Amino acid sequence: MSRSHLLRRPLGAEGKVHDVTPANAGWGHVGFGLYRLKAGEVATEATGGHEAILVMVEGKAQVTAAGQDWGILGDRMDVFEKTPPHCLYVPNGSDWRAVAATDCTIAVCTAPGRGGHPARRIGPEGITLTQRGIGANTRFINNIAMENEDYADSLLVTEVFTPQGNWSSYPPHRHDEDDFPRMTYLEETYYHRLNPAQGYGIQRVFTEDGSLDETIAVSNHDVVLVPKGHHPCGVPYGYEMYYLNVMAGPLRKWRFANHPDHDWIYQRDLKPAT
């Protein structure tokens, strides 16, 4: 069976293991890179026309960016500690350099920049793990840079922890039309982690007209692209799931519509999807 075109497996176990760009994703806004570094190793990039949010998924690194030394970022050694991450916003037209102080995983979230925001640290202060949903729809959110925080020109970034046997990004919802305030067009990537690491999760990406309908088994460190449509995910009993979401589009607002067949769940529970 051929692999879904929406699934990106890691390129290896060390170095830059993901490199999603608008060009190779076939869309216009979101980029996602992931570095897995050993202590002492270095990652460096120029942002060019894109802004970036560096997320210390786990481990510590000495980071310089936009002409400033930001010191050691990171104190979460395992992502499933669920503590707030250390992050750094880097505007377009800048560069950044990270030297791993310990083994570390650094996510590089990118989208078009307009020079509207200076470089700044984001978190861990001000990021609070928050429950969303009820029952088997319960999950826990670390909002890094959603629209309530004026941290970026385009980027929306958040972390989600899904307990064993539960669902996230549920009820199914979409944000694939540029029709604010009813809906915003937002491309999205999901960077998945599983605990224990040999686990798996399921993500379905589908449109209401059936023109896109992919059900994907995700493993540790996989990335799923969501160009359009609904995109719920679940994790089986015995494993918990983490994902890092990156969203961007023409407008830095998150407005979505639930699938009409499943909106009754939202109306009953009165809890927004993530």
Asked whether the beta carbons of 188 and 226 are under 8 A apart, the reply is yes
Asked whether the beta carbons of 173 and 164 are under 8 A apart, the reply is no
Neighbours of 193 (CB within 10 A): 25
Under the banding of pLDDT at 50, 70 and 90, the label for residue 262 is: very high
- Using CA atoms, how far apart are residues 230 and 260, in angstroms rounded to an integer? 11
The residue type found at 103 is D
Q: Per-residue pLDDT for 225 more than 70?
A: yes
Q: Per-residue pLDDT for 272 more than 60?
A: no
- Using CA atoms, how far apart are residues 43 and 117, in angstroms rounded to an integer? 23
List, for residues 46-87, the tens digit of each pLDDT value: 999 999 999 999 999 999 999 999 999 999 999 999 999 999
- Using CA atoms, how far apart are residues 162 and 100, in angstroms rounded to an integer? 28
Percentage, residues of the chain above pLDDT 90? 95
Q: What's the 3-state SS for the chain?
A: CCCCCCEECCCCCCEEEEEECHHHHCCCCCEEEEEEECCCCEEEEECCCEEEEEEEEECCEEEEECCEEEEEECCCCCHHHCCCCCEEEECCCCEEEEEECCCEEEEEEEEECCCCCCCEEECCCCCCCEEECCHHHCEEEEEEECCCCCCCCCCEEEEEEECCCCEECCCCEECCCCECCCECCCEEEEEEEEECCCCCEEEEEECCCCCCEEEEEECCCCEEEECCCECCEECCCCCEEEEEEEEECCCCCCCCEECCCCHHHHHHHCCCCC
- What pLDDT, on the 0 to 100 scale, is given for residue 274? 56
- What pLDDT, on the 0 to 100 scale, is given for residue 267? 86
- Using CA atoms, how far apart are residues 54 and 49, in angstroms rounded to an integer? 16
Q: Is the peptide bond before 196 cis (omega within 30 degrees of 0)?
A: yes
- Which residues, including other chains, have CB under 8 Å from residue 143's CB and lie 6 or more apart? 127, 130, 149, 158
Under the banding of pLDDT at 50, 70 and 90, the label for residue 270 is: low
List, for residues 162-181, the tens digit of each pLDDT value: 999 999 999 999 999 999 99
Q: Per-residue pLDDT for 273 more than 70?
A: no
